[in-house]
Amino acid sequence: MASNTLIEVRVSPAAHLTALMSEASVVQGLTLSEVAFTTQVSVRVAPGSAGYDAVAAATGVGLPEKVGQVAGEASSASVLWLGPDEFLVTAPEDSSLVSTLETALGGNPGQVVDLSANRSVLELSGAKAPLVLRKSCPADLHPRVFGVNQAITTSLANVPVLLWRTGEESWRIMPRASFTEHTVHWLIDAMTEFASDPVD
Amino acid sequence: MMLIDCPHCGPRNENEFSYGGEAHVAYPENPAELTDKEWSRYLFYRGNKKGIFAERWVHAGGCRKWFNALRDTVSYEFLAVYGAGEAQPQIDTLQGGTR
C-alpha cells in the first residue's frame, strides 16, 4: 500500500483540461483527449554496438532504423526514432520497462533514462485531424509521405513535439509536459472551425 | 519557407535548423603555443564569402545532429549536405542543385 501512495495522488499534465477537451470534441468527429501516465524511456545507443543489439532484443520489437519509423504498435511497447543513436521506448504504464532496458544495456556505452514525466501524450483523432495539425506544423503530413505508424520530431504551435500517426485518422502529439496547456488550448482553437458546416 | 535536407531526416523546414558558422575550421594542434593574435584568429575570424560557402548546421528541432552544407550565399540555395567530419564535396562534380 505504502509504495502506491504517489500513484494515488499523481495528476497528469492535462487532467485539468479534460472537460475542456471533451467539450471541444466536434460533431464532425474530431476528438481530443489525453493518454495519461504512459511509460517513456529514452535510450541512446550507437547502431552496430553490443549495447544496441542488447537493447533491441530487450524491447521485444527491435529498434527503428531510420527517420519516421516506429517499431511496434501504440497499443503495446513501441520504439520511436529520434535520431541515428537516440530512441524513445514508450508503453502503456509499465513499471518494469526501465529496469528491463537498464539490465539489457548493462555496462555497454549508452544510456537508459526514465522520461515518463517529460512529455505528455495528447491524442487527436478524426478525418479532419491533418487539417488541424497543418495549421502550424511545418512537416509534410501528406499520407504519401507520412504513413500510419510513423513518427517524427517536429514542431506544432511553435513548440517542439513528437508527432506520431497511430492510426489512419488518429495522431499522438507529445509536447513537453509544461507545454501541454498551451498545446491543448491551441488545438481546441484550431478545431473550433470544424464545428460548423462548411460555407459553400 | 525554405527546405533544408537533413542527412538523417530528409527535407525539413528551415525553422527546425540552427546555423553554426563556417565549417572546416580546424582546432589548433597546440593551443597553448599560440600567440594571442593567432588564438583570436582561430576563435573569431571567419570567412564571409560571396558564393559557395561551407557551413555547419544543426537540426535542432529534429535529430539534433550537426552536419555540413555547401550553400550559395547569394541565392541561399543548398548545393550539398554532408556529414560532420567529412571532406567538402567538389561542387563541379555534383549533379545540379537541390532546390
Chain B, nearest residue to A160 by Cα = B61
- Interface contact B18, partner A, CB < 8 A: no
DSSP chain A: -GGGHHHHH---TTGGGHHHHHHH-BTTTBEEEE--S-EEEEEE--TTSHHHHHHHHHHSS----STEEEEE-TTS-EEEEEETTEEEEEESS-TTHHHHHHHHHTTSSSEEEE-TTTB--EEEESTTHHHHHHTT--S---TTTS-TTEEEEEEETTEEEEEEEEETTEEEEEEBGGGHHHHHHHHHHHHGGGGSPPP-
Name which residue leads in pLDDT, A73 or A81: A81
Question: Per-residue pLDDT for B99 more than 50?
Answer: no
B66 contact residues in A (CB cutoff 8 A): none
Please check whether residue B45 lies inside any domain of the structure.
yes
Please give the tally of structural domains in chain B.
Answer: 1
Please check whether residue B78 lies inside any domain of the structure.
yes
pLDDT of residue A3: 61
Please check whether residue B75 lies inside any domain of the structure.
yes
pLDDT of residue A168: 93
Q: The whole model's pTM is what? A: 0.87
Please check whether residue B97 lies inside any domain of the structure.
no
CATH number for the domain including B45? 3.30.2270.10
A138 contact residues in B (CB cutoff 8 A): 1, 12-13, 15-16
Chain A, nearest residue to B10 by Cα = A67
User: pLDDT of A139-162, one tens digit each?
Assistant: 999 999 999 999 999 999 999 999
Please check whether residue B77 lies inside any domain of the structure.
yes
B12 contact residues in A (CB cutoff 8 A): 138-139, 154
Test the A interface: residue of B1, B3, B9 with most A CBs within 10 Å: B9
Domain that holds residue B15: 3-83
* pLDDT band at residue B96 using 50, 70 and 90 as cut-offs: low
Please check whether residue B44 lies inside any domain of the structure.
yes
- Rounded average pLDDT over A71-96: 91
Please check whether residue B89 lies inside any domain of the structure.
no
**Closest residue to B15, CB basis, from A82, A138, A140:** A138
Please check whether residue B46 lies inside any domain of the structure.
yes
- Interface contact B13, partner A, CB < 8 A: yes
B11 contact residues in A (CB cutoff 8 A): 140
- Interface contact B63, partner A, CB < 8 A: yes
Q: Note whether A117 and A101 are within 8 A (CB).
A: no
Q: Note whether B5 and B81 are within 8 A (CB).
A: yes
- The Cα of A162 is separated from the nearest Cα of chain B by a number of Å equal to 9
* Region for residue B17 given its phi and psi (left: phi exceeds 0; alpha: psi -120 to 50; beta: otherwise): beta
Question: Per-residue pLDDT for A94 more than 90?
Answer: no
Nearest to B54 by CA among B28, B25, B26: B25
User: pLDDT of B17-58, one tens digit each?
Assistant: 999 999 999 999 999 999 999 999 999 999 998 989 999 999
Extract the C-alpha cell encoding B62. Answer: 529534429
